[in-house]
A and B are shown apart, each in its own frame.
Chain A
Amino acid sequence: MNTTSNLKDMSAVLTPPVSPSFGPKTRLLSPKAWTGVFIALAAVLVLVPLFNLVVPAGNPFHLSDYAVQLTGKIMCYAICALAMDLIWGYTGILSLGHGVFFALGGYAMGMYLMRQIGRDGNYQSDLPDFMVFLDWKELPWHWAVSDSFVATLLLVVLVPGLLAFVFGFFAFRSRIKGVYFSIITQAMTYAAMLLFFRNETGFGGNNGFTDFKRILDTPIATPSMRMTLFVLTGLTLIGFFLLARWLVGSKYGRVLQAIRDAESRVMFTGYDPLRYKLSIWVISAVMCGIAGALYVPQVGIINPGEMAPSASIEIAIWAAVGGRGTLVGPIVGAFFVNGAKSWFTQAFPEFWLYFLGGLFIAVTLFLPQGIVGLTRKFNRNAAAEETKA
């Protein structure tokens, strides 16, 4: 008896000659999701500038500068949450140190903004005020290229990227996983915070950088500059969302999810998990760095507080609250949590941390898929009801 040919015959009978009922997903987004992206684009490019700059103050449709600034800030946070989703939601690596990449991007931009102050500081010196205060006579070596905007943009990408590469290479090569990895990322951001707190490292100590006056020789505190930064941030967020969509929709993204589900299987299938983890880790870190660089000119300050362990944990909370592994969820989560925060800290300032803790517990217990998971469930139920009726 020849079993091989039997099996072959069988498959020939069962295989339909044309149009297989399976196949790879090739669409980047569903038509509905594209509509969402275009609405977001329209809001960022047209609606917000219109309601803020054109509609006069006092008109009920006027969007206050405060609202624009807050939304811009939250969009920076949303980029971090999106980056967190790539590494945590899709690859299963919980980083509790992403704040350090955000802060490094912010500091790189901050150094440039400090140089842009020129002689308009309190001491009317070429050196930033804090250096005069410390009685330094010249710029330290790492400020060498800080007067160049192009170099700053490079640093915004390279510094977080390089730190992530070196840290990730050793951590992933040593196969540090799970909670151990999370703990060392906390240690990393904490160590960086202590370093930046010191005056002699040349990053302004615990005051950090502030009192910015100009960017690209243009005053920074004008409505039009504020709007430019807002639009840039919005475009970056939407761009990164599409990039992330493309990444997770590719075979690369499926390998990442496979690493999350069964890393040993990935290895024994011939993939080197190190390369995959390291690449997504660096991509994620660079996204955070760019978010930090957009954040600093809008908020007007950067200090080591951004590297506090709790700041990094908050990024993870945004992602979890919105819904891990959905990309859009963490963006929603960043808006929801930070929106709630700015309201709460005004209305009941002393209860904010309790609320945040309670929220995280509630999400962990009742909403493992986050807000987006909940709405999807409602949609499914509604659809089921409709088909019944």
Chain B
Amino acid sequence: MTPDLMEAGAEALKHHEELVATRQGSGGASYGRVVTGELDVTHGAILYLDDITVSFDGFKALNALNLNISAGEMRCIIGPNGAGKTTMMDVITGKTRPDVGKAFFGSTIDLLRLRENEIASIGIGRKFQKPTVFEHLTVFENLELALKADRGVRSSMFFRLNGEQLDRIGEILTLIHLRPSAQRVAGLLSHGQKQWLEIGMLLMQDPKLLLLDEPVAGMTDEETERTAELFISLEGNHSLVVVEHDMKFIGELTQGGKNGKKVTVLHEGSVLAEGTLADVQSNEKVVEVYLGR
């Protein structure tokens, strides 16, 4: 071991001890809560993040982040690079465990106790920043895997599509404009088509909450417009959290559908501003962060 390695180790330990010291039982706040499979949104909120802090080697990717999403809401999240948008999604989907904080789905399900696949099965769907589809499977097979069905090994071995499920796949294929490509291998699709396929896979899962990380990156203007239309049509039945850089797209999203959609601006791991798009855009702090004045 080199001396600087040991030094780095000592620093990491100190940092960890500090974190533990500041935690003050907030880690135990979930104690005694019921974790059932049922989503309870009677209190109005579908997602509840409280005081979430994530640090990587001393760098705070998320810093006491608070965020509430109401059932059926569409929330746009913007923020400069490194603001913690993707880390936030990682925390919600179980990929990253926060050092401090609480994350609840509805008012009863503690997300911090579940693994990625469990979180996916209780109804949180996630689209990655880089479109992630199963490249060697056909478009149809991609959707088939995402179809709501028993995820167990044995039931997969003996799985047979029924007519209803086939119709559902057909519906989604039409919706994502990939019906003519149903038998194509997903790896051969264009970037924009892969984005659509991934969105289609999310819809097959029929999640209550969709997390969409830069869903229109690499899409043509026309595709972007269609995507906005699609998301607006989902609002109400699903809750959506859209992380995006493309302000034009955010504009399209917030104008369509229900009025008064909120936009949240993240900066350095916490919420900088929250409000309608116009409010946020005129907010001085936001202008400063974005233009770097």
Q: A257-B134, A264-B132 are in contact. Are A20 and B170 (CB under 8 A)?
A: yes
Distance of A24 Cα from B145 Cα, bound (Å): 11
Contact B171 A15 (CB under 8 A): yes
CB distance from A138 to the nearest CB of B (A): 43
B151 is contacted by which of A3, A4, A10, A271 (Cβ under 8 Å)? A271
In the complex, chain A residues whose CB is within 8 Å of the CB of B156 = 250-252, 255, 276
In the complex, chain B residues whose CB is within 8 Å of the CB of A21 = 179, 182-183
In the complex, chain B residues whose CB is within 8 Å of the CB of A254 = 134, 137, 141, 144-145
B120 is contacted by which of A247, A268, A276 (Cβ under 8 Å)? A268
In the complex, chain A residues whose CB is within 8 Å of the CB of B145 = 251, 254-255, 258, 266, 269, 271
Closest to A20 in B: B170
In the complex, chain A residues whose CB is within 8 Å of the CB of B230 = 7
Could you list 18 A-B pairs, sorted by A, with CB under 8 Å? A7-B230, A10-B174, A11-B171, A11-B175, A22-B140, A22-B170, A22-B183, A24-B141, A24-B161, A252-B156, A252-B159, A254-B134, A257-B134, A265-B132, A265-B198, A271-B117, A271-B151, A276-B156
Which parts of B194-237 form the interface with A (CB within 8 Å)?
198, 201, 205, 229-230, 232-233
Closest to B171 in A: A11
Contact A250 B137 (CB under 8 A): no
- Chain A interface size, as a band, is 35 or more
Closest to A25 in B: B141
In the complex, chain A residues whose CB is within 8 Å of the CB of B117 = 267-273
Distance of A255 Cα from B151 Cα, bound (Å): 10
Interface residue B56 (Cβ < 8 Å from any Cβ of A): no
Interface residue A31 (Cβ < 8 Å from any Cβ of B): no
In the complex, chain A residues whose CB is within 8 Å of the CB of B161 = 23-24
Which parts of A133-149 form the interface with B (CB within 8 Å)?
none
CB distance from A370 to the nearest CB of B (A): 16
Distance of A260 Cα from B152 Cα, bound (Å): 18
Distance of A276 Cα from B166 Cα, bound (Å): 24
Interface residue B121 (Cβ < 8 Å from any Cβ of A): yes
In the complex, chain A residues whose CB is within 8 Å of the CB of B141 = 24, 254
Distance of A251 Cα from B205 Cα, bound (Å): 16
A22 is contacted by which of B125, B128, B134, B173 (Cβ under 8 Å)? B173
Closest to A275 in B: B153
Residue among A23, A24, A269 with most chain B CB within 10 A: A269
Closest to B116 in A: A267
In the complex, chain A residues whose CB is within 8 Å of the CB of B136 = 257, 260-261
In the complex, chain A residues whose CB is within 8 Å of the CB of B125 = 268
Q: A3-B229, A251-B156, A270-B151 are in contact. Are A258 and B134 (CB under 8 A)?
A: yes
Residue among B116, B126, B158 with most chain A CB within 10 A: B116
Other 9 A-B pairs with CB < 8 A, given A254-B137, A275-B153: A3-B233, A21-B179, A23-B166, A257-B134, A261-B133, A262-B135, A267-B117, A268-B117, A273-B117
Contact A3 B120 (CB under 8 A): no
Q: A15-B174, A251-B144, A254-B141 are in contact. Are A275 and B152 (CB under 8 A)?
A: yes
CB distance from A253 to the nearest CB of B (A): 9
In the complex, chain B residues whose CB is within 8 Å of the CB of A264 = 95, 116, 128, 132
In the complex, chain A residues whose CB is within 8 Å of the CB of B134 = 254, 257-258, 261-262, 265
Interface residue B157 (Cβ < 8 Å from any Cβ of A): yes
Closest to A1 in B: B256
Interface residue A347 (Cβ < 8 Å from any Cβ of B): no
Closest to B165 in A: A24
Distance of A373 Cα from B75 Cα, bound (Å): 48
Interface residue A389 (Cβ < 8 Å from any Cβ of B): no
Q: A257-B134, A262-B132, A265-B132 are in contact. Are A7 and B175 (CB under 8 A)?
A: yes
Which parts of B153-199 form the interface with A (CB within 8 Å)?
153, 156-161, 166, 169-171, 173-175, 179, 182-183, 198
Interface residue A14 (Cβ < 8 Å from any Cβ of B): yes
In the complex, chain B residues whose CB is within 8 Å of the CB of A265 = 128, 132-134, 198, 201
Interface residue A279 (Cβ < 8 Å from any Cβ of B): yes
Contact B135 A261 (CB under 8 A): yes
B residues bordering A, Cβ < 8 Å?
93, 95, 115-117, 120-121, 125-126, 128, 132-137, 140-141, 144-146, 151-153, 156-161, 166, 169-171, 173-175, 179, 182-183, 198, 201, 205, 229-230, 232-233, 256-257
Closest to A279 in B: B153
Distance of A273 Cα from B144 Cα, bound (Å): 17
Distance of A268 Cα from B170 Cα, bound (Å): 22
Distance of A270 Cα from B125 Cα, bound (Å): 9
CB distance from A18 to the nearest CB of B (A): 11
Contact B174 A23 (CB under 8 A): no
Residue among A3, A250, A260, A266 with most chain B CB within 10 A: A3
Q: A250-B159, A262-B132, A275-B152 are in contact. Are A14 and B182 (CB under 8 A)?
A: no
Distance of A21 Cα from B230 Cα, bound (Å): 24
In the complex, chain B residues whose CB is within 8 Å of the CB of A22 = 140, 169-170, 173, 179, 182-183
3 closest cross-chain pairs (CB), A and B: A22-B182, A270-B120, A252-B156
Distance of A21 Cα from B173 Cα, bound (Å): 11
In the complex, chain A residues whose CB is within 8 Å of the CB of B166 = 20, 23
Residue among B145, B152, B174 with most chain A CB within 10 A: B145
Distance of A247 Cα from B154 Cα, bound (Å): 11
Contact B179 A14 (CB under 8 A): yes
In the complex, chain A residues whose CB is within 8 Å of the CB of B183 = 21-22
In the complex, chain B residues whose CB is within 8 Å of the CB of A7 = 175, 229-230, 233
Contact B135 A269 (CB under 8 A): no
Contact A14 B93 (CB under 8 A): no
Closest to A10 in B: B174
Distance of A146 Cα from B146 Cα, bound (Å): 48
Closest to B256 in A: A3
CB distance from B198 to the nearest CB of A (A): 8
Contact B232 A250 (CB under 8 A): no
In the complex, chain A residues whose CB is within 8 Å of the CB of B173 = 22
Contact B157 A251 (CB under 8 A): yes
In the complex, chain B residues whose CB is within 8 Å of the CB of A4 = 233
Distance of A247 Cα from B149 Cα, bound (Å): 18
Distance of A250 Cα from B182 Cα, bound (Å): 18
In the complex, chain B residues whose CB is within 8 Å of the CB of A268 = 93, 116-117, 120, 125-126
